[in-house]
Amino acid sequence: MQTITIDKVDTAMSKAISEIMENAAFMEALPVPGEQVFEPGESVFYTRLPIYKPFPAMVGLIMPVSMALNLAGAMMMREYTMEDDEFEILDVLGEMANMVAGSLLTHLLPELDSFELGLPECRVISDIESGKEWDHATEFQYDLEGTTFLTTWEGR
């Protein structure tokens, strides 16, 4: 099997994010260089999805709550609130992680015709500065309609 470099993951991740955001949410996501920019004390949704085959890896999505509400609303064509719809938002973000991981692997390893993904885990982190659970992962930063979000890759 070919060696997976971070440059290959970066290229494949950009294609996957662009594809999923445009097709599922009708929004344009653009890669942006630099450090993550979240407001101090801002709550974020952290969604991660394990990849089991063709090799072990982890894909993650990190976005502010406000973006998650807008994204879920665009995908499901209705308004969402944290008070009433948190569990449904978790489901939408879990499905988005599945779509991103599938698209990422398709762009990363086009010769592969199957792979095995685990179940997504999604939760709200109330303060991103108090400890990132993805410290060992490579971060890729994007802009979606003026709001920053991250994807992560931890693998071989």
In a domain, 143, yes or no: yes
| Helical ranges in the chain per DSSP H | 6-24, 65-76, 82-108
Summarised one tens digit per residue, pLDDT across range 45-59 is 999 999 999 999 999
Higher-scoring residue by pLDDT: 128, 45:
45
Structural domain includes residue 117: yes
Residue 86: per-residue pLDDT = 81
Contacts of 120 (CB under 8 A, 6+ apart): 47, 48, 49, 93, 94, 95, 97, 98
> Has residue 109 been placed in a domain?
yes
Residue 1: pLDDT over 60: no
What sign does the dihedral 112-118-122-127 (CA atoms) show?
Answer: negative
- Rounded Cα distance between 115 and 106, Å, is 9
Q: What are phi and psi of 2, to 5 degrees?
A: -70, 155
- Domain region containing 89: 6-32+42-155
Domain assignment present for residue 149? The answer is yes
What pLDDT score was predicted for residue 53? 94
146 domain-assigned: yes
**Could you report the per-residue pLDDT of 9-33, keeping only the tens digit for each?**
999 999 999 999 999 888 899 999 8
Q: pTM of this prediction?
A: 0.90
> Which CATH number belongs to the domain containing residue 134 in this structure?
3.40.1550.10
Would you call 116 helix, strand, or coil by DSSP? strand
How is residue 143 written in tokens?
């802009």
Q: Is residue 1 part of a domain?
A: no
> If you average pLDDT over every residue of the chain, what do you get?
89
Would residue 139 count as lying in a domain? yes
- The 10s digit of each residue's pLDDT in 57-105 is 999 999 999 899 888 888 888 887 777 788 888 999 999 999 999 999 9
Residue 37 domain flag: no
Question: How many structural domains are present in the chain?
Answer: 1
